[in-house]
Structure formats: structure tokens, C-alpha cells
Amino acid sequence: MEYRWIYFARCYQKPQVVPDEELLERQQSMLHKLSLLQEAPQHAYLQETVTQLQSDAGVVHLFSKDYPQVLNHGDLSETNILVNGETAAVTGFIDWSLGSVRPFGYERYALRQLSGKMTSEGWSDMICRARTDEAFWTEFWSITSIEDPAQRIKIKEQAELVAKLGLIIRYAIQKTLDGIPLDKLATRPARYLASWLTTPNWSSMLLNGRLLRKQTPSVPTFIMLKFPSGRQRSSEGR
């Protein structure tokens, strides 16, 4: 097997040690940012997700020693991912200036970002969307040797919840020029955030494998890594 997203599995296998006081500080910081969203009418569509993240199984658990804290790139956009043009295999990442340690799955939203495009009419998933995610997890289980079905479901559900948190912080919260999140809401409309968290294809497609559009068998699983010429990268949220 030629691994494409081995990075995520390897990070999961080698969790980082974070002092208790630092984990507590991160919990409080994240909970405060989520509270800002509760008071923002423009983000009313996020309330269900925010409530989930504020529960005991949310931020408090995800930023604890009971959940793997792993290496986080910080900006897994298409311009920072090196890809083999013939096999579409990911061969490396560049620009680690925003690198940090975060809960496993925090930047899983990057895979979603790379499997579609934003146009003037809104977000559009590529037809390989569900197969791409299925391939990600198939590879993840293979590398980590996790076979228990119940454990797989738990890891997957927790990783997707963390991914939603990473998505919210990236697009709904203001940042310094160095990319550090502030305790302020972003002033620009979060088009990616609204598109991804108000449609049923975030959880239903990731956890149930459903498609919004008809699947074409001949479409390569990792077609999202072969970007069409002339495609422009959005600067939103950066």
C-alpha cells in the first residue's frame, strides 16, 4: 500500500506530553471562544456544535491526558502539501511556522477543504468525497492496527468533533499576524464554516458514507489532490 495520509496516523501513534496546567489553560481558552459564538446571531447555525463542544465529552475531554495530544501543522492548505503527480500520494508538508500540539483530529478539516471548491454560488464537494474519507480511515486503521469496531467508532466520532472545533477556530475567530487565535470573532463572513456546518454532509458523509451527488466509479479516490489549472486559492480565514 502506498500511504497518502500517513502523517495523521503517525501523529496519533506518538502523542505529545502536555503539562496539566497547560491543558487546563487551553480548555479555558477554547471554552471562552465558544462562549463568544453563543452570543453571535450570525453564528446561530453553530449552536448545536458549540453545545456539544461545551459538554464534558467536548473540550474538557479533548484537551486532557485522556485524549491524544498530537503534532499539528497549523495550515494544511493545498499550497503546503507536496504531492506525487503520478500517484497522488502525499510526500511531505512545508511551512511549519504555525506548528503546535493539539488534540488528534484538530486539522482533519483540511481533508474536507481539499475535496471540493468554493465558488460564488457556495461550496461544492467533489464526487469522490465519501470515497476519499473512507480511504483515509482505511489507511489509518491499517497503520495503527486498530481492529476493534467499537474503538474505531469512538475514535472516528471524537476526531470529527475535534475537526469541527479546528474549523470553528480557523474561520470564526480572529487571529494575530502570526496565526494565534484571539478572543474576538472574525469580522468577515465565514463562508466555509457556514457551508460545511449547515449541510448534512459533514457528519452523515463522514460517518455513514453518503454522497450528495452520484458517484462515478471511474473517479480516482484522491482526485481532490489533482487541482485544475487556474484554480485560485481563497484567502478567507487566513
pLDDT at residue 238 above 50? no
Note the pLDDT tens digit of each residue in 182-192: 999 998 877 88
Give the mean pLDDT of the chain: 81
> 233 lies in a domain?
no
> 235 lies in a domain?
no
> 1 lies in a domain?
no
CATH (domain of 115): 3.90.1200
> 145 lies in a domain?
yes
pLDDT on residue 221: 35
pLDDT on residue 158: 96
Note the pLDDT tens digit of each residue in 52-90: 999 999 999 999 999 999 999 988 877 888 888 887 777
Which structural domain range is residue 102 located in? 6-225
pLDDT at residue 2 above 80? no
pLDDT on residue 78: 77
> 117 lies in a domain?
yes
Look at the alpha carbons of 76, 202, 171, 153 in this order and tell me if their dihedral is positive or negative: negative
Note the pLDDT tens digit of each residue in 197-219: 875 545 544 444 443 333 333 33
Count of domains for the chain: 1
> 101 lies in a domain?
yes
> 231 lies in a domain?
no
